Structure 1
Amino acid sequence: MVGGANGRWVVETLYEKEGFTCAFRADKVLYEEETGQQHLVIFENGLFGRMMALDGITQVTERDEFIYHEMMTHVPILAHGNAKRVLIIGGGDGGILREVIRHRSVEHVTMVEIDPAVTDFCKKQLPQISAGAFDDPRLNLVFADGAKFVEDTDESYDVIIVDSTDPIGPGEVLFREEFYRAAHARLTPGGVIVTQNGVPFMQGDELKSTMEKFRRLFKVASCYLATIPTYVGGPMAMGWGTDDETLKAVPLEELEKRYAAAGLTTRYYTPEVHKAAFALPRYVETCVKV
């Protein structure tokens, strides 16, 4: 957080070592604290609305959160076609949970968040993101280390969504092969795991690292893309790991049927976008196939 002629600015530090930063003007700081796990600040910005940053890295904004949350959720659930049990690792703001419970076919959701302060603050300061999802009776909310939870649980899931921070601080363990191996063991036959893998143009090594590990564990190791304005540098990659080779190639007509049957109303996701998201630019394809 820095001062200036136009007030306080929250500086995005993710690429600072590489020589690049951007900043968001904090028109009003709503909350700022060292939670014990990480530094959290929630503030209002004239363009993006309410925003949250953890350890200097933007996590979510009111203006464009729907893109990330819809694509992280509806792509794996509709590709699966019969997901009844979903595990969310991270996602303390509740946006992934909000989208998951919109699927009536989902019978149970376990959400594991390491920092209860993040969830508490988001309920109070960013309630529009969770939109009451934390009250859904299908939810089992667990405050714990996501990597340890996956290692210790004997439950199985059709879809696992890893809504992690970048591999810095508490989120680092969620990018290790040990975690991916444990998650693989928790998937039901035909299950799929989706991971947050950053912006490949800026963070190509992060995607390469995940794909190397996925290839050792899954029959299908790939990613799909979504363009989210807040996360600068190009489209964001969502890692894709599964042993079911058919999930990546569900016909458009079938996706349209599943989308209609789910009764969803979305602002970014469409069955056409779903199919197109797996068409990768060469520089991203290179990261996937290293």
Structure 2
Amino acid sequence: MTALWPRQVVEPISPHEAHVHEVVEVLAEGRTAVQSYEVVRLGGHGRAMVIEGRVQSTEADEAIYHEALVMPAHAVAPSVGRVLCLGGANGGLLHRVLALPGVTSVRQFDVDAELHERSVELLPHMHLDALADPRVTLEFGHPRDLLDGLTGTFDLVLADLPDSVPGSHVPALFTAEFYARIRELLGGTGVFATQAGPANPLAPDFFAGVLRTARSVFRHATPYTSAVPSFGVPWGFVVASDHPGAADPGRAAVPEPPRPVTTYDAETHRHMFAVPRLLRAGLEGGGRVITDADPMWQA
């Protein structure tokens, strides 16, 4: 393939397609003890975090992704006093969680302290002043290991994870065993939300697998989508809980969004849960339960 630009990011979105971004400036690149990364400026999208060759967030549309992860779960959660965030080193998640009414404490687990430092330095618009908030506890290590040491329960657990690619730590964060531990921490009434990969009706296997795995663990698990332009295809999410209020999250009463929220409201919420027919068919008819012994990754 002839390069479209002198430097570009080429992301597979199915076994036979890719989405290509022009890189107009490289701010930093390297490899930490955990993963490779680039912090770049993308044409049309501004500053961006790229992990293992895949765009994780961009200045232009990170709000769409992060609000899609946080706000639907907030709408169905009975309370959000204690929150656990898994991942989110790029900073887009934490300040939005702290803005939710009623939050008393937030624990954030991330796997990569070095990349977090680079993100704070190079993407300050993502972090704002969230790390200075006394309600925040930030810890580094593999989330599976950190979860083993937790006691008590949480009202809301949010998994802001990178793409699930072979050889990384991420596939272990989409398995039934991992979800069973999350369920214990939710104490029967808490709510869990995770990104679930591309919502591509022509290649729905990963999204369908995440949904089927969540349904094998939780009483209720519902898919929804959001169009994040820099990802190339709509993106999938799953909200899950044993609480009866999560049985039909698309019909939840949406509270007034807090001031930092710019892309989400009640109408957007309803649209997220109106999953198109072809994708619904792929989700209901495909996928498998993902386990530690039989993981799954994206295209």
Alignment TM-score, normalising by the size of structure 1: 0.90
**Residues 253/40 of structure 1: CA separation in 2 closer, same or farther (3 Å cut):** closer
CA distance in 2, matches of 1:157, 1:205: 30
Conserved in 2, the CA contact under 8 Å of 1:14 and 1:57?
A: no
Q: What corresponds to 2:221 in structure 1?
A: 221
1:84 counterpart (78, 81, 84): 81
Q: What corresponds to 2:134 in structure 1?
A: 137
Q: What corresponds to 1:103 in structure 2?
A: 100
CA distance in 1, matches of 2:121, 2:190: 34
Q: What corresponds to 2:173 in structure 1?
A: 174
Report Cα offsets for 1:25-52 as digits up to 9, x if no partner. 2211100011121110011123100011
Q: What corresponds to 1:230 in structure 2?
A: 230
C-alpha root-mean-square deviation of aligned residues, in Å?
2.2
**Residues 115/160 of structure 1: CA separation in 2 closer, same or farther (3 Å cut):** same
Pairing 1:49–2:39 present: no
Conserved in 2, the CA contact under 8 Å of 1:40 and 1:53?
A: yes
CA distance in 1, matches of 2:281, 2:158: 24
Conserved in 1, the CA contact under 8 Å of 2:95 and 2:127?
A: yes
Report how many residues are paired: 282
1:121 counterpart (96, 100, 118): 118
Counterpart of 2:188 in 1: which secondary structure?
strand
CA distance in 1, matches of 2:252, 2:144: 37
Conserved in 1, the CA contact under 8 Å of 2:85 and 2:160?
A: yes
CA distance in 1, matches of 2:262, 2:210: 29
Report Cα offsets for 1:216-265 as digits up to 9, x if no partner. 211112111111001112x211112111232354697942xx31xx6435
CA distance in 1, matches of 2:259, 2:188: 26
Report Cα offsets for 1:106-161 as digits up to 9, x if no partner. 00101000011221111011110111211111111010111222233123111111
Between the two structures, name the one with larger relative contact order (CA 8 Å, sep ≥ 6). 2
Q: What corresponds to 1:147 in structure 2?
A: 144
> Structure 2: 5+ residue runs without aligned partners?
286-299
Identity of aligned residues (%): 26
Alignment TM-score, normalising by the size of structure 2: 0.87
Conserved in 2, the CA contact under 8 Å of 1:191 and 1:244?
A: yes
Counterpart of 1:274 in 2: which secondary structure?
helix
Q: What corresponds to 1:160 in structure 2?
A: 157
Pairing 1:23–2:26 present: no
**Residues 248/135 of structure 1: CA separation in 2 closer, same or farther (3 Å cut):** farther
> Structure 1: 5+ residue runs without aligned partners?
none
Which has the higher mean CA deviation after the structures are superposed, 107-116 or 239-248?
239-248
Q: What corresponds to 1:189 in structure 2?
A: 188
The residue identity in structure 2 corresponding to 1:21 is: A
The residue identity in structure 2 corresponding to 1:83 is: V
Q: What corresponds to 1:267 in structure 2?
A: 262
**Residues 104/215 of structure 1: CA separation in 2 closer, same or farther (3 Å cut):** closer
Q: What corresponds to 1:286 in structure 2?
A: 281
Which has the higher mean CA deviation after the structures are superposed, 145-154 or 65-74?
145-154
Pairing 1:69–2:56 present: no
CA distance in 1, matches of 2:112, 2:212: 29
**Residues 3/84 of structure 1: CA separation in 2 closer, same or farther (3 Å cut):** farther
The residue identity in structure 2 corresponding to 1:109 is: V
Conserved in 1, the CA contact under 8 Å of 2:69 and 2:193?
A: yes
**Residues 229/250 of structure 1: CA separation in 2 closer, same or farther (3 Å cut):** closer
Conserved in 2, the CA contact under 8 Å of 1:42 and 1:125?
A: yes
Which has the higher mean CA deviation after the structures are superposed, 172-181 or 204-213?
204-213
**Residues 110/203 of structure 1: CA separation in 2 closer, same or farther (3 Å cut):** farther
Q: What corresponds to 2:243 in structure 1?
A: 244
The residue identity in structure 1 corresponding to 2:184 is: A
**Residues 56/221 of structure 1: CA separation in 2 closer, same or farther (3 Å cut):** same
The residue identity in structure 1 corresponding to 2:154 is: Y
